[in-house]
Amino acid sequence: MSYLTISYTHKNTDIDTREKLAFGSDELKNSFTSELLTQDYIQEVMLTSTCNRVELFMFVKDIKQAISFAIGGLSRHSNISYEVLFSRANVYEKQDAIYHMFVVASSLDSLIVGETQIIGQIKDAYKFSVEHDKCDKNITLAINYALRCATAVRNATSLGEGQVSVASAAVAMAKDIFKTTKPQAAVVGAGKMSQIAMRHLLKNGFDIKIINRNYTNATNLKAMIIDEKPRYEENIAIEKFENLHELLGSAELLFTATASTDTIIKAQHIQPSNTTRYWFDMAVPRDIDRVDMANLHIYAVDDLKAQIDENIALRQSKAKQGYKIVKDMQKEFYRCLEETKLQPIIKHLHQKAQAIIDKKLTSAIGKKFIDKKQEANTKKLCQTVVAQLLHDPTVHLKSNTKELDYEQISQCFINSFKLN
């Protein structure tokens, strides 16, 4: 049994590929992961699908078969050929899969190193997996350690100081463009990415207009932000979604981040304008059709590279420290994993000892060697002696998982104590 990760991110795929691979609904996620689990060589699965990554984290019996079946499923889902997906995939096996999960959770593999969204996205992916019976103790143990690792990296390196994300990078670029004047920014969507963008826009002096299909959600979002910072009440307006297309001609600054599986601003809705417009499409799949038009600048996730590169340069030294923490945590995880594997042997050892105590005690009472009234005290004494006798071998068994192979250790104890 082994851990396995199949990864598609900003590092090995372009935004067009990631759009096709993305899972836009819980129904799609549930259907796809259920399909994977129909194969007896795939035991557990967790799917992470974000704007910058689609990753399968699995616990499998047969790595080769699992890779082939999973990529085949992704090919059918995305309508991208198996050969293309196979050639582009980053595949991590066994300890490398754990290392990669810890690196991702610690935001060292993110488009913007140190961004804080990824940990929430992993928690959401794990929660979905648990609630839909897609994972069990093996992925649970790995995720618990990944979260511990992320906390250790954040505390030791300060990589998580300040909210750093695709949304904050987009706002930073907008701030550089509008150095003197600050137009009202239209924000389409009410999810986490939109919320981050709104907070950064308000912090940097921009007024915002919230546009969302669900007017109630937009109203609730405005109330939430005002509850956090009452001074922003007059800086936030709400516009009905049906008026979006009318606003496009005059929208100097626009941010979109919806969960739509199709573009919501289509080419036919975008008309030429004398107003110079800067639009930031933070969604994957994208919210805005690609349009080549004078005075219109549309930035997708991958277009934020300059801002991202600057971030990486500033955080490089801190990231090195983070990788060391990840490596140490990976070693600790595997020590824990080996101890977990050995628990059945230790339990079996104690159960056999208890069975011997019960058998010998019954025989001794039957032969009048021990008074029946002393049975409880005698049993307790025997259990104490056995516990003390087994203490040193048990400690030795656990401590030597660092140097010895688990199979060798377990077989040695099974043969020595006849635990079959």
CA–CA gap between residue 331 and residue 350 (Å, rounded): 28
The answer to whether residue 135 is catalytic is no
E-assigned strand segments in 202-276: 208-212, 236-240, 253-256
Burial 76-90 (b: 16+ CB within 10 A, else e): ebbebeeeebbebbe
| 47 token code pair | 């799917």
Q: Is 364 exposed, middle or buried (0-12, 13-18, 19+ CB in 10 A)?
A: middle
Contacts for 408 with CB less than 8 Å, ≥ 6 apart: none
* Of 329, 340, 402, residue with least CA distance to 146: 329
| 81 token code pair | 């050929």
In DSSP terms, 265 is beta-bridged to: 288
What is the helix (H) or strand (E) element at residue 4, kind and residue range?
Answer: strand 2-9
CA dihedral sign, ordered 211, 214, 218, 224 = negative
CA–CA gap between residue 189 and residue 129 (Å, rounded): 26
CA–CA gap between residue 109 and residue 309 (Å, rounded): 13
* Of 53, 111, 14, residue with least CA distance to 310: 111
Q: What angle do CA 30, 281, 113 make, to 5 degrees?
A: 75
Amino acid at 183: P
Length of the chain: 420
3-state helix, strand, coil in the chain (%, to 5): 60, 15, 25
CA–CA gap between residue 209 and residue 218 (Å, rounded): 10
CA dihedral sign, ordered 265, 215, 252, 246 = positive
Which candidate in 51, 149, 382, 412 is catalytic?
Answer: 51
What are the residue numbers of the active site?
A: 51
